[in-house]
Amino acid sequence: MKNIVIFGAPGAGKGTQSDCIVEHFGLTHVSTGDLLRKEIADQTELGKRIKSIMDAGQLVSDDIVVEMIDKAIANDTKGMLFDGFPRTVAQAETLDKLLAKHGRELTCMVQLEVPKDELMHRLLERAKIQGRADDNEATINNRLQEYNNKTKPVADYYAKQGKQVVIDGLGKIEDISKRILDQLEKR
Ligand code: B4P
């Protein structure tokens, strides 16, 4: 059973590439971004608390996302793709513990590498189509800063475990998918 993390800066294509990975290996897709946006759309108590944090481009607190992931692992029987989680080293350590609690282990982490100017371009393009509250230039800059300060160290965490798979995230979506699947077939 495969348990995979897809990792990268905002706009690197995590959500986009998740579709083909999930389909190819028959995995359960868990996107913390999607779960959090659903809480906001449903106007739950949690959604009201996190809206201003996400609109500002900051990370929501670890305990909130960890609880969501714990529930998702408990409900899964197929193997999982974690999209947008972990985003801090503390979340990465917790993921290892949660998987172990359910008798599982992380297979590997797929890291999408995309230069900053392309990230900005993609997210501003998405803003025109989807109108997401956090896709504007000021907020994107905050999200990239949060990524550099808090999320990037997660890559070293997995490199030390020999679980980091770095993928060039530039080019056609289907070419990038092929690069990812070729690597994952070997794991
Ligand atoms: P996420 O929902 O995870 O979103 P993202 O990082 O912005 O985007 P992603 O990398 O998935 O890009 P996509 O495929 O859509 O996070 C949003 C917020 O939620 C965070 O800022 C944070 O506040 C909160 N959050 C989520 N998880 C959290 C956690 N664990 N802890 C704390 N807070 C958390 O691609 C972007 C665009 O590029 C799309 O329009 C796509 O069509 C386009 N694109 C993709 N691949 C392309 C390619 N090859 N060429 C051209 N365009 C491409």
Give the tens place of pLDDT for each residue, 120-156.
999 999 999 998 889 999 999 999 999 999 999 999 9
pLDDT at 116 (0 to 100) = 95
Tokens standing for residue 132: 């997401």
C-alpha separations of 73 from 38, 56, 89, 105, 157 in Å = 18, 29, 19, 12, 21
Nearest CA to ligand 1 atom 51: 122
From the list 116, 126, 150, 179, the catalytic residue is: 126
Q: Please report, to the nearest 10 degrees, the dihedral formed by the alpha carbons of residues 144, 158, 84, 115 taken in order.
A: 40
- Provide φ and ψ at 164, rounded to 5°: -90, 125
**Largest interatomic CA distance in the chain:** 43
The ranges assigned to domains in the chain are 3-178
Strand residues in the chain grouped as ranges (E): 3-8, 28-31, 80-83, 108-113, 164-168
CATH code at 3-178 = 3.40.50.300
Nearest CA to ligand 1 atom 7: 10
Mean pLDDT of the chain: 96
- 143: annotated active-site residue: yes
Tokens standing for residue 6: 């897809």
Q: If you measure from the C-alpha of residue 13 to the centroid of ligand 1, how many angstroms do you get, rounded to a whole number?
A: 6
Distance CA 114, CA 61 (A): 26
131 vs 23: which has the higher pLDDT: 23
* pLDDT level of residue 76 (50, 70, 90 thresholds): very high
Q: If you measure from the C-alpha of residue 10 to the centroid of ligand 1, how many angstroms do you get, rounded to a whole number?
A: 5
Q: What is the pTM of this model?
A: 0.94
Nearest CA to ligand 1 atom 49: 173
- Provide φ and ψ at 8, rounded to 5°: 165, 170
pLDDT at 70 (0 to 100) = 95
CA terminus-to-terminus distance, the chain:
11
Q: If you measure from the C-alpha of residue 174 to the centroid of ligand 1, how many angstroms do you get, rounded to a whole number?
A: 18
92 close to ligand 1 (CB < 6 Angstrom):
no
- 14: annotated active-site residue: yes
pLDDT at 146 (0 to 100) = 97
Question: Could you tell me if 79 and 1 are in contact, meaning their C-beta atoms sit under 8 angstroms apart?
Answer: yes
- 87: annotated active-site residue: yes
36 close to ligand 1 (CB < 6 Angstrom):
yes
Ligand 1 atom with minimal separation from the 57 CA: 21
* pLDDT level of residue 90 (50, 70, 90 thresholds): very high
How many residues does the structure list for the chain?
187
23-27, 134-138, 166-170: least confidently modelled range: 134-138
**pLDDT tens per residue, range 102-117:** 999 999 999 999 999 9
Residue among 41, 31, 27, 119 at smallest CA distance from 79: 27
